[in-house]
Amino acid sequence: MSAVPADLTDRIRSRLRAESIDPARDDDATVRLVRGEMRRHNDMASARGFAPIDDEAACEREVLATLTGYGVLDAYLSDDTVEELWINGPDRVFVARGGRSERLALRVEEREIRDLVERMLHSAGRRVDLSQPVVDASLPDGSRLHVVIPDVARRSWLVNIRRFLPSHRRLGDLVAAGSLDEGAAELLRGAMASGRSVVVSGATHAGKTTMLGALLAASPPEHRIVTVEETFELAVDAPDLVAMQGRQPSLEGTGEITLRRLVREALRMRPDRIVVGEVRDAEALDLVLALNTGVPCAATVHANSAADALAKLAMLPLLAGRNIDRGFIAPAIARSVDLVVHCERLPSGGRRVAEIAAPTGEHDEAAIATETVWRPGAFLRSAGERAAQREAAAL
C-alpha cells in the first residue's frame, strides 16, 4: 500500500508550480518543500483527528520518485533485466525479461498513468491529446515510449516502454549472449569496416534494433555516421555521429519532418554511412537512391526471412508514387545491398541470428535472389570469396 496520503502529492505539485521550482533541476528545494508539506500534514492530522504519515522516509521517497522520476515504475525502469514494460490498465501492468512476459502485482491509477506519460513526453518535447491520440517518443535514457489514449484505445491509456539494455551494445556482447558465434561477428565487423551496406531483418521483438546498434558500434572510428529515425532509439556512441528524428505535425497540420526528408538531408552531410532506424514506408525509395549513389547504408526492416526483407525493400518504394519503376528498384537493391542479417526470437524468449544472406545480383519482378553465407553452426561461403567475385563481376 502507498505510504503517501491521497492529496499530498497534488498539494506539493501546486506549491512547486506556485514557487516556480523544477523538481528535475532543483533537488534541494524540492526535498525541503516535500518535507515541509509532510510536517504540515502531520500537524493537521493531530489537530483534526485523521491519520498521520507513519513512515516519513518511505513517503518522501515515493513522492520524490513521482515528482522527479517515474513513480511506482522507477524500480522496473532502473532494472537492467527489464527489456520492456507495458500498461494495459490500472491493474494490468507487465514487464518482459529474457524475452518472456510477466504480470506485476502492481496497480497504477489512471491519474498516475496520465501524470507519468505527461512527464515523459515533456522531456521528449512531444504531446498526446484528442487531436493526437497516438504518440512515439524517446526517453532520456534512450528507451522508446509508445502511448495510445481513448477513444483510439477502448478504455485506459495504453503505454509501452521498450528499453535497450547496455549489456548488448556490441557484437562481442551478442556473441557472449549466444545470439551469434565469433565467426559471424568477424564477418559483420569486416563488412562494417569495409563500408558494406547491411540490412537487418526480423519480426517484432527479434532484436533488430539491438543488432543494428551493435553493427554501428563496429564501424571504424573515422567513419561519419548519420542516423535517421522516427524517434531516437539507436544507442550509438561514435566519434562522428549525427542523429536526427522525425517530427509530428503541429495542431495546424504544419511542420512535419518525414523520414524521406531526413534521408535526403543526410546525403548533404558528407556521410560515410546513412542509417535508417526502420524502413516501413516510402522512405525506402530515398534509401535505395542513396545506395545508388554509392553511400553505404544500414537499416532494419520487418520481414520473415532475408529474402523477404529484400522483396519488401523492392516493394516499399512503390508507395512513393505511380511513376516509380520497379524495373529500377530491384536491380538497384540487388547491386547495392551486401548482406542481410536475419534475426529471430526463439520459443524460450532468447534472440539469435538465424541467417546471414547476400544478394547474388540476380533478380526478377517477383524476387531478388540470395545465397546464405552463414547460419548457426556453419559458414556456407566466405565473405572474402563473395566480395572477390562481386568485384570481378563489376569489372
Q: Give the C-alpha separation, 367 to 358, whole Å.
A: 13
Contacts of 352 (CB under 8 A, 6+ apart): 178, 179, 180, 343, 344, 346, 376
* Cβ–Cβ under 8 Å, residues 75 and 81: no
* Residue pLDDT, tens place only, 86-136: 999 999 999 999 888 999 999 998 988 988 888 788 767 778 888 889 999
> Residue 118's pLDDT is what?
82
**Topology at the third CATH level for domain 166-394:** Rossmann fold (3.40.50)
Measure the CA–CA gap between 291 and 275, rounded to whole angstroms. Answer: 11
Report, as an integer, the average pLDDT of 265-282: 95
Reported as half-sphere exposure (CB side, CA atoms, 13 A), residue 176 has a value of: 8
Mean pLDDT to the nearest integer, 243-249? 88
User: Residue 383: its pLDDT value, please?
Assistant: 47
Higher-pLDDT residue of 311, 123: 311
Q: Where are the domains of the chain?
A: 1-68, 70-163, 166-394
**pLDDT of 395 over the 70 cut:** no
**SS3 of 114-177:** HHHHHHHHHHHCCCCECCECEEEEECCCCCEEEEECCCCCCCCCEEEEECCCHHHCCHHHHHHC
Q: How many CB atoms lie within 10 A of CB 139?
A: 19
The predicted pLDDT at position 3 comes to 65
Band the pLDDT of 380: cuts 50, 70, 90: low
Question: Mean pLDDT over residues 197-219, rounded?
Answer: 94
At 179, is the pLDDT very low, low, confident or very high (cuts 50, 70, 90)?
very high
Cell numbers for 395 = 569489372
Helix (H, G, I), strand (E, B) or coil at 286: helix
Digit-coded pLDDT (tens) for 53-85: 888 888 888 888 777 677 788 888 888 889 999
In the chain, the amino acid numbered 108 is V
The pTM (predicted TM-score) of the whole model is 0.76
Per-residue pLDDT band at 390 (split at 50, 70, 90)? low
pLDDT of residue 248: 80
- Cα–Cα distance between 11 and 171 in angstroms, integer? 49
More confident call, 71 vs 281: 281
**Over residues 321-350, mean pLDDT:** 88
- Span 284-306, mean pLDDT? 94
pLDDT tier, 392 (very low <50, low <70, confident <90, very high otherwise)? very low
Instruction: Examine the pLDDT at 381 and tell me if it is beyond 60.
Output: no
pLDDT for the residue numbered 388: 45
> Is pLDDT of 287 > 90?
yes
- The mean per-residue pLDDT over the stretch 206-214 comes to 93
Alpha helices in the chain (DSSP H): 8-18, 27-48, 56-68, 74-77, 110-124, 171-176, 182-193, 208-217, 259-267, 283-292, 306-315, 326-336, 383-394
Q: What CATH topology corresponds to 70-163?
A: Beta-Lactamase (3.30.450)
25-56 pLDDT per residue, tens? 677 888 899 999 999 988 888 888 888 888 88
Task: Please report, rounded to a whole number, the percentage of residues in the chain having pLDDT higher than 90.
Answer: 50
Mean pLDDT value across the chain: 87
Average pLDDT rounded to a whole number, residues 320-336: 84
Query: Which residues share a beta bridge with 135?
Result: 147
Distance CA 215, CA 191 (A): 9
State yes or no: pLDDT of 356 exceeds 90: yes
Asked if pLDDT for residue 384 goes beyond 60, the answer is no
